[in-house]
Chains A and B, each alone.
Chain A
Amino acid sequence: MSWSGCLPRRTSLSSALLEVESLTRRYGDLVAVDDLSFSMERGQIYGFIGPNGAGKTTTMRILATLDLPDGGEARVDGRSVLVDPRHARAQIGFMSDTFLPYSNLDVIEFLDFFARAYGLRGRRRIETVRSVTSFCGLLEFQHRPATGLSKGMGQRLHLAKTLVHDPKLLILDEPAAGLDPHARIEFRELLRELSSAGKGILISSHILSELSESCDGVVVIEQGKRRAAGTLAEIAKEVQAQRAVHVRHLGDDESVRRFFLTQPHVDAVDGTGGQVHFDFSGDEAALAALLARAVGAGIAILEFRQQETDLEEIFMRTTRGGLQ
């Protein structure tokens, strides 16, 4: 059974691939991860976002069995990472934020070493190394020294090393940090292929636009606590209790602003040059009624729209931005 046997297809098992329950990790008085819970399914890409020092790396290290929690539980493929770390390691591919390959080894020797370390033997090892080298686009660099690659190629080598034992869950800590836009797009494509092959991917990044394009869901944490978790649509709905509305009109700015200020559910009205925006806390029917009242009041409206909630918006609304 070769590594590439799982590409490209989507498995349809229903149980959660990763379940995190009340995970807690303390360093003395500091609570780095505080009662954190979330789950994700097979074939999903989940963004793991939070400010610096929010506890992302600590959580990822616990899931990868490199650290141990003081409380709580995490299960990969139904088995506890705490009780059965060997099983978890076989299911997890962890790509840390730092990576320094061995000197005096070329790319293929480096991957062959990790294949050996993961217990692959004989032809299976050689075929697997060849497959991951090819999948990660490293074939033409296979005889280059592993330490002599560019940042982008180095990250591909890191990913290849992470994939060598064909894990079900990939935990990627800031994999796109330091990559140029071209390398980032290529990297994102690789992740999409892996996701469509049924692998679950938990990825942390500060480049939120990157995540929003490739993630099925996100987990937002701050000061070790979960602020939001779920698919982008679910969270957007959750945080949109206060929706932002944008209005383009042909009237006088001051009178239009005054009109909206007097309306129910409207707050924080601002704008100039024929544009007004405000926060609206009512439901959809109330928003439709507001539009009708504005038209009825004689305001010539060119555009009346609710602003889309993107990942940055979610991040800003769910986190408090305090010092970590």
Chain B
Amino acid sequence: MSAEVALTRGERLLDRANAILVREIQQALSSRLFLATLSLAVAAILVIGLSVAAAGPEAGNRIGRAAFAGTLSALAVVAFLIVPFQAFLSTRAEVTAGTIEHLLLTHLTPGAIVRGKLLAALTQFLLFLSLFGPLLALTFLLRGVDIPTIAFFLLLAILGCLCATSVTVALGAASFSPRFRALPHLLATAGLGFLTLGLVVAMGELHRLVERAVRDGHVDEILSALSLPALLTLALSSMVASSFLSHPYENRSTRFRLLALLALAGGFLWVALTTPSHLASEVGPAYSAAAAGVLFLFVLFAVTEVETLSPRVRTLVPRSPLLALLAAPFLPGGGRGLVFAMLLSMLGMAGAHLYPLWVEGAVATVDGGRVALLLWLYVLLYGALGRLLRARLADSPQRTLLARALLPLLLAVGGTVPVVFDALFGPGVQRWHLGHLLNPIWTAVMIDGRRTPASLVALGLLAGLALLLAVPSMVQGIAEVLRAAKERRSRAR
């Protein structure tokens, strides 16, 4: 065995890097797709550069602006089409060939695999960006564009590339079932294709909008309004990808539940930082109501999970009864998922009413406060109905899918049937009545701001009843966690 092994500087640099990052870059650099993309990028640079040269100095900032739009369009193709699609193909190949299982036997966790792919995408994008660097500098020198605009677009391009890659990695990871393999492929191809096409077509207009925002000093708001949902999508799709790569018996719920709570709380913070404080009594409840609509998706998944703890999760339950009790709403299982939904709803309702007090020292507007309360009550009502529905189905992944499809169907049917009935057989859709109680949109639209509306009372009663019926499931879920904690304590002894 030779001990004369010397590491080159490059090897030392890469020694501690994520293994997936190193391999993806190695593979990408020796692939035909990379060579083709590189050739096209060089061709695009030449075309744009020659166009600028041909236009001559008299064209001034007009040609500078056109060159900037052209450069951004070329970068959009790389950031939103080529790099994410390569990540999709690589993940899909690993999942379909079973290579992913070999990776999971190593020190790499599903999260590390996804991170490696995102870092590889970022590295590839930065590589291409460095190619286009001189062209971007040229557009600045031609006075077609200023530095803040360039920085704004580059930041969004990087974030967009990561975001699109995380979504395609999740789609690639979802390709495990041979029966549904075509669907992720179609979604990735069509989604990236339309997104890139839309960006290329609208690039000139986007440029003008951003310039105006920079001039008017609104760039912070626009940047945060675009980047926060992008970061949330990035986190969510990375978690989805990690979940697809994990065994169904692993804990795949806790991180989603924590993300929902953090997103709700972080959203209030973002609203506080970006809106004038005198608007707090309107903005706070409005944000809370919007969050109820978005976070219902998390509740839908939480309450329809299989009730029992898997053997692996049982080994992860804290030994201390108090810690186990606190952890219970965040552990997998539908009953515990409903407890989590109650926590989330309480935070949402409290936020809607306490946020204006905290920021403005005023109470929430009556209408806004009631709409937020109403929508969180709907989250609880449908969460409890989802739990009751799932509890009546057998413990299998197919039944979980069925419950997740039936609950939105119930929402759609409960919402549309009374409306259609009123339109066809009644006086028309003009007023609210008890038949509309399952319809969150119509109920919120028709809420009466002056006195406590009957809809809110009826909804409160209905949600309370549904929760009451689901109490055994919640108690059972928490008791199971406490039993697992006890088992772990006795095993440790």
Residues on A lying within 8 angstroms of B by beta carbon are 2, 4, 28, 64-71, 82-83, 85, 89, 92, 94, 96, 98-100, 102-105, 109, 113-114, 116-119, 121-123, 125-127, 130-131, 161, 165
Q: Besides A68-B247, A96-B102, A113-B23, 7 other CB < 8 A contacts?
A: A66-B104, A68-B311, A89-B107, A105-B23, A116-B22, A117-B19, A119-B106
Assembled-state Cα–Cα distance A127/B1 (Å):
8
- Contacts A4-B1, A119-B107 given: A104-B98 contact, CB under 8 Å? no
Residues from chain A with a CB closer than 8 A to the CB of B151 are none
Q: Output the least CB separation between A171 and chain B (Å).
A: 10
Q: Does B123 contact A (CB under 8 A)?
A: no
- Contacts A89-B105, A116-B19, A118-B107 given: A68-B26 contact, CB under 8 Å? no
A96 lies within 8 A of B98 (CB):
yes
Residues from chain A with a CB closer than 8 A to the CB of B424 are none
Residues from chain B with a CB closer than 8 A to the CB of A99 are 98
- Contacts A89-B106, A102-B27 given: A68-B101 contact, CB under 8 Å? no
B16 lies within 8 A of A100 (CB):
no
- 23 A/B residue pairs, CB under 8 Å, sorted by A: A64-B105, A67-B247, A68-B247, A68-B311, A68-B312, A83-B315, A85-B312, A96-B98, A96-B102, A99-B98, A102-B27, A103-B93, A105-B27, A105-B30, A109-B26, A116-B22, A117-B20, A117-B107, A119-B106, A122-B15, A123-B7, A127-B5, A165-B106
Q: Output the least CB separation between A87 and chain B (Å).
A: 12
Q: Does B249 contact A (CB under 8 A)?
A: yes
Chain B, residues 30-52, CB within 8 Å of chain A (1/0): the string is 11000000000000000000000
For B31, give its contact among A96, A104, A116 (CB under 8 Å).
A104
B5 lies within 8 A of A66 (CB):
no
A104 lies within 8 A of B106 (CB):
no
Assembled-state Cα–Cα distance A250/B233 (Å):
88
Residues from chain B with a CB closer than 8 A to the CB of A118 are 106-107
Residues from chain B with a CB closer than 8 A to the CB of A96 are 98, 101-102
A113 lies within 8 A of B97 (CB):
no
Q: Does B412 contact A (CB under 8 A)?
A: no
For A102, give its contact among B7, B99, B311 (CB under 8 Å).
B99
B23 lies within 8 A of A102 (CB):
yes
B23 lies within 8 A of A70 (CB):
no
- Contacts A83-B315, A118-B106, A123-B5 given: A100-B98 contact, CB under 8 Å? yes
Q: Does B396 contact A (CB under 8 A)?
A: yes
Residues on B lying within 8 angstroms of A by beta carbon are 1-3, 5, 7, 12, 15-16, 19-20, 22-23, 26-27, 30-31, 93, 97-99, 101-108, 247, 249, 310-312, 315, 396
Assembled-state Cα–Cα distance A102/B97 (Å):
10
Q: Output the least CB separation between B492 and chain A (Å).
A: 11
Assembled-state Cα–Cα distance A98/B98 (Å):
8
Main secondary structure of the interface of A (DSSP, over half): loop
Assembled-state Cα–Cα distance A135/B311 (Å):
39
Residues from chain B with a CB closer than 8 A to the CB of A127 are 1-3, 5
Assembled-state Cα–Cα distance A312/B98 (Å):
32
Residues from chain A with a CB closer than 8 A to the CB of B315 are 82-83
Residues from chain B with a CB closer than 8 A to the CB of A130 are 2, 5
A100 lies within 8 A of B99 (CB):
yes
For A28, give its contact among B3, B12, B23, B396 (CB under 8 Å).
B396
Query: Which residue, of A67, A123, A131, A161, has the highest number of chain B Cβ atoms within 10 A?
Result: A123
Assembled-state Cα–Cα distance A105/B26 (Å):
7
Residues from chain B with a CB closer than 8 A to the CB of A66 are 101, 104-105, 247
B105 lies within 8 A of A65 (CB):
yes
For B311, give its contact among A82, A100, A113, A114 (CB under 8 Å).
A82
Residues from chain A with a CB closer than 8 A to the CB of B15 are 121-122, 125
B30 lies within 8 A of A117 (CB):
no
Assembled-state Cα–Cα distance A130/B1 (Å):
9
Residues from chain B with a CB closer than 8 A to the CB of A122 are 7, 12, 15
Q: Output the least CB separation between B213 and chain A (Å).
A: 43
Residues from chain B with a CB closer than 8 A to the CB of A113 are 19, 22-23, 26
Assembled-state Cα–Cα distance A70/B312 (Å):
10
- Contacts A4-B1, A100-B97, A127-B1 given: A117-B31 contact, CB under 8 Å? no
Q: Output the least CB separation between A89 and chain B (Å).
A: 5
> Which chain B residue shows the least CB distance to A4?
B1
Residues from chain A with a CB closer than 8 A to the CB of B93 are 103
Residues from chain B with a CB closer than 8 A to the CB of A126 are 5, 7
Residues from chain B with a CB closer than 8 A to the CB of A65 are 105
